[in-house]
Amino acid sequence: MEVIIPNEPSQIPVLVADAICALVERKPDATLGIATGSTPLAIYDELARRHDAGELSLARAKAFMLDEYVGLPAEHPERYRNVIDTAFTSRLDIDPANVHGPDGLADDLAEACADYERRIVEAGGVDLQILGIGTDGHIAFNEPGSSLASRTRIKTLTSQTRIDNARFFGGDIEAVPRHCLTQGLGTIMDARHVVLVALGKGKSEAVHNLTEGPVSALWPATILQHHPHASVLLDPGAASRLQLSDYYREAYESKPAWQGL
């Protein structure tokens, strides 16, 4: 796991966009794993800027979302499919038919999850997965206690996550759905490169456990310690509880420029 704390936090979306551009250059039909929430928005802004500048085309790329709320009406603005349409799909030249998400409105949710796993495999697997992290240590919506080998399935959100996400629902915790479909930790671990971004002091405990704690279902993101290619990009607030932050900074400063993420 490589921990990067850039001197200038505004570099974070630039570094992630650089990695995506390098991937698409060597593999134009690459498969991206995309996250929702506030953390990746600056990355999508940077991708859109590069697309508008003629520097990036996702015309042949595919994308898979991490998760979806169960039961939110099709037109609800916070349905993750709609959030991704607005923040990502509509601003790039990716074919909307190639942007996939779990179907939180399916009659048979278990079958929808199995179907999602099949579609990821048929697409050849995820090349680069963007991740945020919850204050309770979740990635996608794998809440504490999730099996470290889990696949796409229905999960119940913790009250902490519903409190955290109430800001997207006018501050009304009761409006935040209780259930979601989410890629499992095993599904995420199959991605060839995972890039996790955490911003702000509110994430510092989760980040400390992610990078320096024991691997445990209590902090689900810790499974990434077993990933062969995991990049963790942090701003100073998110990095504020790390024991080894001086070492991470020193290692990054002396990293060869050609290496990328």
Applying CB under 6 A, among 138, 153, 208, 227 the residue interacting with ligand F6R is 138
Report, as residue numbers or ranges, the catalytic residues: 67, 136, 138, 143
Toward ligand F6R, which CB reaches closer, 132 or 177? Answer: 132
Dihedral sign for Cα 114, 131, 154, 80, please: negative
# of chain residues touching ligand F6R (CB under 6 A): 14
Toward ligand F6R, which CB reaches closer, 40 or 92? Answer: 40
* 72 is a contact residue toward ligand F6R (CB under 6 A): no
Toward ligand F6R, which CB reaches closer, 221 or 242? Answer: 221
* Closest CA relative to residue 128, chosen from 207, 57, 35, 221: 35
Toward ligand F6R, which CB reaches closer, 124 or 202? Answer: 202
* Position closest to ligand F6R via CB: 132
Q: Which of residues 15-54 bind ligand F6R (CB under 6 A)?
A: 35-39
C-beta of 80: minimal distance to ligand F6R in Å? Answer: 6
Applying CB under 6 A, among 46, 67, 117, 190 the residue interacting with ligand F6R is 67
* 134 is a contact residue toward ligand F6R (CB under 6 A): yes
* 139 is a contact residue toward ligand F6R (CB under 6 A): yes
* 181 is a contact residue toward ligand F6R (CB under 6 A): no
C-beta of 86: minimal distance to ligand F6R in Å? Answer: 14
Residues that bind ligand F6R (CB under 6 A): 35-39, 66-67, 132-134, 138-141
